[in-house]
């Protein structure tokens, strides 16, 4: 009986060893398949030649066998990934979110008396979101703004429109048409004289002053007059936008130089605003606005002082940010950029809203 047990135990060990050997063989085959797929991907991208396999030395006769250094392999892989990500981003179809008109919003509020007023916080009305649909990020309802110097000539006159999450809007018009007033009202730098203005579900006209900083934390802004901190360098101005939201020093040291490089200021990190030209100050302002990837990005002439090549890069970056879901509003005189991107165009003239066009151009007769 003992002999039979020994034989059975030996057979069991052999069977178990055979299963383990099969599993190891399968794992090795899968590993080889992954290496081959990676090599094919690198060959298609042009990073390596067909005769060299990723992660393996060149064994061609007559050549010295050399194993590539690890940092070089990592760099190649990152370049391939970046190229694939860029290609994926560019292939995402442009989708215009359904727009809700101001009149529709009024009808829905009137038909639902239990709906909280629009000046309450967005989070408090989340339970009613399915009933009322998408709440606009920006809502102008018969908004007018007059300055004391010209009380009978409003800078904005009875403007009504809505902007939904994820939209990309160009705000166009001649100088003095009301574009800057439009933007300053959204950021609550000034307050409207009449009407109702809501940003992210909050009535900014009735908003208390202590809430204004919390509103602005979610809005990236690029202004014509830069609004840089004079006692901070270019690096410090951009880093400040990350510091106020609690980002770590490691992220700041990594992210800020990269953003400044994107706007062409990699050699101006330690320069103060008064040591920079007007165009360079504008680039610092742009970098500071986009470093947070805010849900709402407002730009007043972001490419006005930039050369054409840099302008094209900045507009592509804004378009890429918009495709991730960020709402982008750009006030501009750049006819070529507006005509080429064909986004929604809002046109102001003497304070009046004269055009609101999907996939529009700079001028109606363009």
CA distance 31 to 359: 49
Instruction: State how far the alpha carbon of 306 is from the alpha carbons of 133, 260, 292, 303, in Å.
Output: 40, 14, 21, 5
**pLDDT tens digits, 15-71:** 445 455 444 444 454 445 445 544 554 444 444 444 444 444 444 444 444 444 444
Which residues are CB-contacts of 324 (< 8 A; sequence separation ≥ 6)?
Answer: 293
pLDDT of residue 313: 76
Q: Which long-range contacts (CB under 8 A, 24 or more apart) does 111-118 make?
A: 117/203, 118/196, 118/198, 118/201, 118/202, 118/203
pLDDT of residue 111: 57
Task: Provide the 10 A C-beta neighbour count for residue 69.
Answer: 9
**Which residues of the chain have a pLDDT value below 50?**
1-2, 4-7, 15-16, 18, 21-27, 29-31, 33-34, 37-38, 41-97, 113-133, 366
Instruction: State how far the alpha carbon of 247 is from the alpha carbons of 251, 252, 255, 291, 325, in Å.
Output: 7, 7, 10, 11, 22
- Shortest CA distance to 171 belongs to which of 157, 182, 161? 182
pLDDT of residue 320: 77
pLDDT of residue 9: 52
pLDDT of residue 24: 43
> Model-level pTM?
0.62
């Amino acid at each position: 009986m003992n002999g039979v047990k020994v034989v059975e135990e030996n057979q069991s060990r052999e069977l178990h060893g055979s299963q383990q050997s099969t599993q190891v063989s399968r794992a090795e085959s899968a590993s080889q398949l992954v290496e081959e797929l990676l090599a094919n991907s690198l060959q298609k991208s042009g990073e390596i030649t067909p005769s060299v396999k990723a992660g393996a030395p060149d064994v061609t006769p007559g050549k010295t066998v050399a194993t590539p250094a690890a940092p070089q392999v990592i760099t190649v892989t990152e370049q391939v990934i970046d190229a694939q990500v860029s290609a994926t981003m560019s292939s995402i179809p442009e989708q215009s979110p359904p727009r809700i008109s101001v009149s529709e919003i009024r009808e829905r509020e009137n038909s639902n008396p239990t709906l909280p007023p629009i000046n309450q916080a967005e989070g408090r009305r989340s339970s009613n979101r399915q009933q009322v649909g998408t709440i606009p990020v920006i809502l102008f309802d018969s908004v007018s703004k007059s300055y004391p110097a010209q009380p009978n000539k409003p800078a904005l006159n009875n403007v009504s429109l809505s902007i939904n999450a994820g939209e990309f809007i160009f705000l166009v018009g001649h100088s003095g048409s009301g574009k800057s007033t439009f933007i300053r009202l959204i950021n609550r730098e000034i307050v409207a004289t009449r009407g109702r203005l809501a940003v992210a579900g909050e009535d900014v006209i009735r908003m208390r002053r202590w809430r204004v900083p919390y509103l602005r934390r979610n809005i990236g802004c690029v202004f014509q007059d830069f609004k840089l901190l004079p006692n901070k360098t270019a690096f410090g101005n951009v880093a400040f936008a990350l510091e106020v939201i609690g980002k770590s020093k490691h992220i700041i040291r990594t992210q800020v130089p990269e953003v400044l490089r994107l706007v062409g200021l990699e050699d101006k990190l330690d320069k103060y605003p008064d040591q920079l030209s007007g165009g360079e100050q504008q680039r610092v302002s742009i970098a500071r606005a986009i470093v947070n990837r805010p849900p709402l990005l407002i730009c007043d002439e972001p490419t006005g002082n930039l050369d054409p090549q840099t302008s094209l890069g900045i507009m592509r970056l804004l378009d890429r940010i918009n495709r991730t879901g960020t709402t982008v509003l750009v006030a501009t005189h750049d006819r070529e950029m507006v005509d080429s991107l064909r986004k929604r165009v809002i046109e102001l003239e003497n304070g009046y809203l004269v055009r609101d066009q999907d996939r529009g151009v700079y001028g109606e007769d363009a």
